[in-house]
Amino acid sequence: MRSNGREHLATYSLATLANFLLSVPQYVAVNTALELAVIPKGTTASLIAQYGSGTGLVLDFLRSGLIFQGVLAVLVVGLAGAATSRRGWKWQYPLTGVFVSTYLAYHLGGKFLNALGWIGVLETSGVNVSDVYGYLFWFGLATAVCYLIAILVLRRSYGKLKEERAILAVSG
């Protein structure tokens, strides 16, 4: 039995690309805010206080990216495990796929809203934000395309798995 490894790797890669694409306008917005001496709150503020604005911001983005990658890796490995399950795969695989797509949508939506929030801060500070809005629009559009393709790849993976299991049931 196959585990649709190519599709799972494609889903992981597309999710990683989508996360990176939204990180670009978010980084530009936060970096512009830091140049105006607007200090963020939370762990970002502590990293900036400890390492300076440039290094602290990069470390914060790396930290959040690694957390995203870790959670996504666990979910995709769970998806592969559900694909190799002999019993209960008909509900395990789709349910795990829903977990993957929901986590990805939640994370990317939150990241998009965070970037919009930073753009609002810049706008109230009197900064021309048309470039940052442009970045957010185009990178957000590319992110949406990556997300959609990832969902379609998951759907194709389920179809291939279902077809393979049907052939095994008929022959076995």
Count of the separate structural domains present in the chain: 1
Q: How many CB atoms lie within 10 A of CB 38?
A: 15
Domain membership of residue 153 as a residue range: 5-35+65-167
Query: 21 lies in a domain?
Result: yes
Amino acid 172: pLDDT: 63
Please give the average per-residue pLDDT across 66-72, as a whole number: 97
Question: Binning pLDDT at 50, 70 and 90, where does residue 1 land?
Answer: very low
Is 34 within 8 Å of 57 (Cβ atoms)? yes
Q: What percent of the chain has pLDDT over 70?
A: 98
Query: 102 lies in a domain?
Result: yes
Query: 143 lies in a domain?
Result: yes
The DSSP string of the chain is: ----HHHHHHHHHHHHHHHHHHHHHHHHHHHHHHHTT----THHHHHHHHH-HHHHHHHHHHHHHHHHHHHHHHHHHHHHHHHH-SSSHHHHHHHHHHHHHHHHHHHHHHHHHHHHHHHHHHHHTT---HHHHHHHHHHHHHHHHHHHHHHHHHHHHHHHHHHHHHHHHHH-
DSSP summary character for residue 3:
-
Query: 136 lies in a domain?
Result: yes
Please give the average per-residue pLDDT across 102-130, as a whole number: 92
Reported as a single tens digit per residue, the pLDDT across 28-52 is: 999 888 888 887 777 778 888 888 8
Query: 56 lies in a domain?
Result: no
- Which of 10 and 89 is assigned the larger pLDDT? 10
Query: 41 lies in a domain?
Result: no
